[in-house]
Amino acid sequence: MIDIRAVIAADWPDIWEIFQHVVEKGDTYPYAPDIAEADAKALWIDLPQATYVGVDSGGVLGTYYLKPNQPALGAHVCNAGYMVHPSARRRGIGRQLCAHSIDEARRLGFSAMQYNLVVTGNKGAIRLWTEMGFETIGTLPGAFRHTTEGLVDALVMYRRL
């Protein structure tokens, strides 16, 4: 079990390391593999309504953000993004982060959660999100420009809170 808490400024170097590992392959997130650190920080820390980290005695193992998926009349549905350090994968950290995010989203007043771009090759995430109660509500043909496979489909996944 990890401790999950709101991000603090001192967490950024660890988050940046995780962020770089996750986006460098260009196979799961739409961010440029060579994204500048300031741009990554704006996307992960500054823009979201809330950002959290999962930590143990060794430091930050994973992170997630919550933000309204749309402005104003669509702001009751949130969006979330998750990243786990490669060395901490397959230990249930993503599941713990997701469970925490669902609880936090409810606490913040959201009534549903939507993932906008789940790359079809990201089988582990699709399996986890499905196990956590998300349904695939749409497929976006060729919506993700995979760095090695070219244009691949992405899923829109949704669950009520």
Orientation angle between helical segments 123-131 and 93-107, nearest 10 degrees: 50
Q: Report the pLDDT value the prediction gives residue 41, as an integer from 0 to 100.
A: 98
Nearest to 66 by CA among 12, 127, 3, 6: 6
Q: Report the pLDDT value the prediction gives residue 132, as an integer from 0 to 100.
A: 99
| Per-residue pLDDT reduced to its tens digit, 20-60 | 999 999 999 999 999 999 999 999 999 999 999 999 988 99
Q: Residue 92 sits in which domain range? A: 3-160
Tokens read off for 87: 């060395």
The parts of the chain modelled with pLDDT lower than 50 are none
Q: Report the pLDDT value the prediction gives residue 58, as an integer from 0 to 100.
A: 83
CA distance 20 to 79: 21
| Number of domains comprising the chain | 1
Residue 70: Cβ within 10 Å count: 12
In the chain, the DSSP E strands lie at: 3-6, 50-56, 59-68, 77-84, 112-119, 135-146, 150-160
CATH code of the domain containing 85: 3.40.630.30
Predicted TM-score of the model (pTM): 0.96
Q: Report the pLDDT value the prediction gives residue 29, as an integer from 0 to 100.
A: 97
Q: Report the pLDDT value the prediction gives residue 64, as an integer from 0 to 100.
A: 99
Residue located via tokens 């994204």? 35
